[in-house]
Structure 1
Amino acid sequence: MIKFLSQNLMNCVLKLNLIEKEDENLYAYGAELAISYILNLIAIIIIGAVMDMMFYTIAFLIIFIPLKSYSGGYHAPNYLICFIMSCITVAAVLYITKYGYEYVPNNILILVMAFMGMMIYILGPIEDKNKPLTESEYTHFKYKIKIILVAEFIIAFASSIIGFDKMVFIFFCNFIVTLGVSSAGLLKNTFANV
């Protein structure tokens, strides 16, 4: 479906002479990515609305996307699998947050987050075979991971102090998902090269 939409968009753009024919593949790939991101976002927003957790859905996306963007990790082999995994992950995070946040004390969450944050920093950034990093990109991404982790940890700690328990739990889930995605990417890379 995404390829179909992207190709129709490219046909319209070519007919209007907005791009050169030799650039079609590049623009088609960009259109595919944009369409897949938009569809993912719409589905996740719907999940958040249905679960009556819109604020926490937006909060999770705001804290997860930057960290995942720089830490790397597992990438699904196609858009459909990515879509399904994203929806399941967000639904699970929201469900656990809605019904389980009060069962774990914030001080335990903060301690575990500190450990997970160190692991995310040590492991990251995880390259993908389709997107290897140059040495300067690796250094830049490593620095960004550190800044994002410190900022997120400070906000989570402050949320804990003021008693914003669900927000602390959202940060905790973000660290779990990011560490899981990073670990899965590392394992995929390790066993793909064996």
Structure 2
Amino acid sequence: MISKCANVVTDLCVRKMIIQGTEKEVYQYGFELIISTIVNVFWVLLIGIISKRIFLALIGFSIFAWIRTQSGGYHANSYLKCNFSLIIVFGFIMASVRFFKITDVYFAFFVLAYIYVPLFMWQFSPVENMESPLDSAERSLVKRKVLMRVVICEVVGVCGWLFGYNELAVLVLFVHVAVIILIIIEILKRRRLNESQY
């Protein structure tokens, strides 16, 4: 559906001579990304409306996208699967925000999780795109970027908790948990593929 919409828009731009036919594939890919992003934001807003936390849903999506652009992880092989995955991931995140509170019982869990997330990211990210692997210098740079982004988000979460906005701390943690789960899924998927080749 998204590819078809992008194709229609691209064909229209070529017919109106807004773009050259030789650049059609590049523009089609760009339109697919724009339409896909609009659809993703729609789903995030819908989940935010259902959970009665629209602002938190948008913050969570921003954090998620900011970290995922560098960390990598599971990517669906179609837009339909991608949207379905996003709905599940954001449903999980917003349900966690709604039901988890930082109480005396959970405080130690949150502290340990906030310590563990950067350690995990340092060890396992980035999960490289197999189409364009990174050399060791690029990998090291991206790893530092991921770690910096995670720590900045955690500082925001801790500040939220200190100022009595516990839901922000829970949001940051569970966005990170979702990113970790997607990284683990992709690592396991690649291991299974490698084992099936031998």
1:85 aligns with 2:112: no
State the partner residue of 2:11: 11
Equivalent residues of 1:113, 1:175 under 8 A apart: no
The CA deviation string for residues 112-158 of structure 1, in whole angstroms up to 9 with x for no partner, is: 12112210221010012234234443232112112112211222222
Q: CA-atom RMSD, angstroms?
A: 1.7
Give the 3-state SS of the residue equivalent to 2:100 in structure 1: helix
Change (3 A) 1:18 1:140: farther
Distance in 2, matches of 1:106 and 1:58, equals: 25
Q: Give the alignment of 1:1-194 within 5 angstroms.
A: 1-102=1-102, 105-194=106-195
Amino acid at match of 1:99: F
Distance in 1, matches of 2:93 and 2:108, equals: 20
Distance in 1, matches of 2:76 and 2:178, equals: 15
Distance in 2, matches of 1:125 and 1:152, equals: 17
Amino acid at match of 2:94: L
TM-score between the two structures when normalised by the length of structure 2: 0.90
Distance in 2, matches of 1:107 and 1:99, equals: 17
Equivalent residues of 1:6, 1:31 under 8 A apart: yes
Distance in 1, matches of 2:176 and 2:50, equals: 24
**Identical positions, percent:** 21
Amino acid at match of 2:27: Y
Give the 3-state SS of the residue equivalent to 1:105 in structure 2: helix
Equivalent residues of 1:72, 1:127 under 8 A apart: yes
Give the 3-state SS of the residue equivalent to 1:76 in structure 2: coil
Distance in 2, matches of 1:125 and 1:112, equals: 19
Say how many residue pairs are matched. Answer: 194
Distance in 2, matches of 1:146 and 1:57, equals: 22
Identify unmatched segments of 5+ residues in structure 1: none
Greater alpha carbon shift after TM alignment, 173-182 vs 161-170: 161-170
Identify unmatched segments of 5+ residues in structure 2: none
Equivalent residues of 2:45, 2:54 under 8 A apart: yes
Distance in 2, matches of 1:111 and 1:161, equals: 17
Using CA pairs under 8 Å that are at least 6 residues apart, name the structure with larger relative contact order, 1 or 2.
Answer: 1
Deviation at 1:190, TM superposition (A): 2.2
Deviation at 1:102, TM superposition (A): 4.8
TM-score between the two structures when normalised by the length of structure 1: 0.92
